Amino acid sequence: MTTDSLSVPKDDFIWLEGLRNEKALGWAHEQNAITLAAFTQSSEFNPLREKVLKGLNSPEQIPVVSKCGNDWYNFWQDAQNPKGLLRRTSLEEFRKAQPKWETVLDIDALSKAEGKDWVYHGVFALKPDFNRALIFLSPDGGDASEVREFDLRTLEFVTDGFFLPVAKSRTGWIDNDHLFVATDFGEGSLTGSGYPRIVKIWQRGTPLSEAKTMFSADKKDMMAVGYHDSFKGFERDFVVRVIDFYHREAYVLNAQKELTRIDLPTDAKFSTWRDWLLVQPSSEWQINGETWPSGSLLTVNFDAFLAGDRALKPLFIPGAHSSLSGVTATRDQLNGYSFTRDHIILSITHDVVNRLEVLTPENGEWRREPFGKVGELSKIHAWGVDDDTNEYFVTVSGFLQPASLSLGNLDNGVEVEAELLKQDPSHFDASRYQVSQHFAQSDDGTRVPYFVICRKDVVSDGQNPTLLYGYGGFEVSLDPYYLGVSGVAWLDRGGVFVVANIRGGGEYGPEWHKAALKEKRLRAYEDFACVARALIASKITSPAHLAAQGGSNGGLLVGNMLTRYPELFGAIVCEVALLDMYRYTQISAGASWIAEYGDPQKPEEWAFIREFSPYHNLDSTKKYPPVLITTATSDDRVGPDHARKMAAKMQAMGIPDVYFYENTDGGHSAAADKAQSAFKRVMVSEFLLHFLGRKVQE
């Protein structure tokens, strides 16, 4: 690579940056009109959109609930309530086919009353009485939210209660009169990633300006957060300095609010449960004469560890094909386990298919029992209902299997089958389809798993329209899941669906993820391309009939399929993507991902980042497949800048069949409600079949 190629790249389309840039929005509006005219005007579009929307709004779908005291809360969206209802019921009612719900907060009514298009972003109830809650509301579906205190008895917002204006706040209860607050406190209070760097404790009845500072992270860090562990009898307060996406320093606060560092490797994930500290090292960890591998799960008494005890006990050791399940959406970004009052439930995967175990501490040792039943190539997930009981929820689903929700109690033992409470509806006739798992060999010999979902009578003639989906980043696993309305919008239209479990994800633990970090990023793209070649070699499809789809980091993945492997694909769907990897750290929250991709402002790192920056690897002499690039104006995480600039540059280069669509609302999901989601799904389906061709179904 020449010195000139590493200099600051010329950017003729920087004028398209900025979420609310009027000139950019005008350009996007013109592009939307072209795309909508091309892919939403067929006679099939509206009937299919209505069918997909009906499925998304089905009253039979499982209402996901969380227990708060004696009430079971659910957030529900349907045709009558597109913005949604926060509602609650009793367990006795929830067991019924048609429970009676009490409305707690009507987001549609609130939006109408206040003249704002609020998007619900969650509720945080105060334990143990659950009389108060913090409600998070986004004005446009972006990550930034307003926070308001809500009375769960009177069902009204609390006058003069806790309130935070729209920001990317991290806040939560300590007790009735105190919150941990990390928010935009004014000049200098945010990191370069746009997240809060200062953690304070805010006392009721005092102005936010008087909140007491507990910790300040560096401006170059990703963020800082504080949280309260409310497990009865083991209450603790923590502050975490999030250095970057994969490194952190954790502190526990004593009664005097003094901080004590928890002496762990900065790349280790941790949690506390009862009197235990649980640790997952992301790199090999040598301690106390022992060497623990990356991806193991270790435990020790929390207080003893603070006092210097380093005699950790292993709860899980990974194997060549087994790991704890990939990153889950828990407050600590932990992998593969959940808690009840007296037990830990482990989720262990073997070649992306999981099983469960229950661990129970007994007299200083840990009893281990297999738990739950699941079908082949399906997914079982279990989690504790609350901290006060040994009740648990368990769901089972698969690509062709709608999710079921059951309630059990480990007090009855692992052998007693959980009570089936709810079953998701079927959206398509699964009996016509089959699921199979295969393995492709990547360029360096690595074995890459992938799932194929297709008709049982599929003919290997290379003519099947096939959609290959992937992600490959941030240690996120792509496990089996019910395809739902995707079955309607794709399988029932003759399509084959493929999920590739490439490096960069968490399917085989931290090492699988680290194999595609920074200068190794191309390994993820080689993996995805090897799956594409395997599909072509098996004659499931051919380049003219094969498409790639991905969003966010997956959008960067398919952006690289476009620029590096255009000969393998007949179409590309690139959603809410990172594409300009030179300026990504200066767009929205991009600086928070330097640990994943590298820092383009460092010449030695831009040298390898440039290799996977789609925006900078476009070549006017190459032939590219048709591409649909979608984004949202309100995406304050990745930013619509990438999508706009990529589409504009391709069009300026004279590349044909470059389509762009920018939704206004929805943030990083690019859809604020189910109607917008249905519209986008069917538009994508129309785009794909327009260029891949329809295969007549008998």
Are 324 and 380 a contacting pair, CB within 8 Å? Answer: no
Residue appearing with tokens 């990504």:
584
CA triplet 256, 260, 262: central angle to 5 degrees? 145
Rounded to whole angstroms, the Cα distance separating 38 from 33 reads: 9
CB 457 within 8 A of CB 464: no
* Helix/strand/coil for 573: strand
C-alpha to C-alpha distance for 618 and 566, rounded to whole angstroms: 11
| 3-state SS string for 16-59 | HCCCCCHHHHHHHHHHHHHHHHHHCCCCCHHHHHHHHHHHHCCC
Q: Which of 193, 294, 323, 552 is catalytic?
A: 552
Give CA 298 to chain center in angstroms: 25
Residues 6+ apart with CB under 8 A from 296: 280, 281, 314, 316, 317, 318
Closest CA to 489 of 41, 51, 40, 46: 51
What is the phi/psi pair of residue 169, to 5°?
-75, 150
Q: How far apart are CA 486 and CA 275, in angstroms?
A: 44
The pair of three-digit structure tokens given for residue 53, joined into one six-digit string: 């929307």
Whether 178 is catalytic: no
User: Are 502 and 534 contacting, i.e. CB atoms less than 8 angstroms apart?
Assistant: no
Residues paired with residue 547 on neighbouring β-strands, in sequence order? 467, 571
Token pair in block for residue 237: 């307060």
Write the CA distances from 449 to 319, 395, 526, integer angstroms: 16, 24, 13
Closest CA to 36 of 689, 680, 693, 521: 680
The amino acid present at 60, given as its one-letter code, is E
Q: For the chain, what's the residue count?
A: 698
Q: Is 668 tagged catalytic?
A: yes
Residue carrying the six token digits 């005291």: 69
Phi, psi angles (nearest 5°) of residue 407: -120, 125
CA distance 482 to 431: 14
Mutual orientation of helices 641-652 and 22-39 as an angle, nearest 10°? 70
Amino acid at 232: K
* CB-CB contact of 506 with 327 (8 Å): yes
Beta strands 212-216 and 198-203 are antiparallel
Contact 556, 612 (CB under 8 A): yes
For Cα atoms 480, 484, 486, give the angle at the middle one, nearest 5 degrees: 95
Question: What is the distance, to the nearest Å, from the Cα of residue 150 to the centroid of all Cα atoms in its chain?
Answer: 27
User: What strand order describes the sheet that includes 269-273?
Assistant: 269-273, 276-280, 297-301, 313-316
Return d(Cα 698, Cα 695) in angstroms, integer: 10
Q: Which helix (H) or strand (E) holds 91?
A: helix 91-94
Which residue of the set 668, 669, 677, 685 is catalytic? 668
Question: Three-state DSSP class for 543?
Answer: helix
Catalytic residues: 552, 668
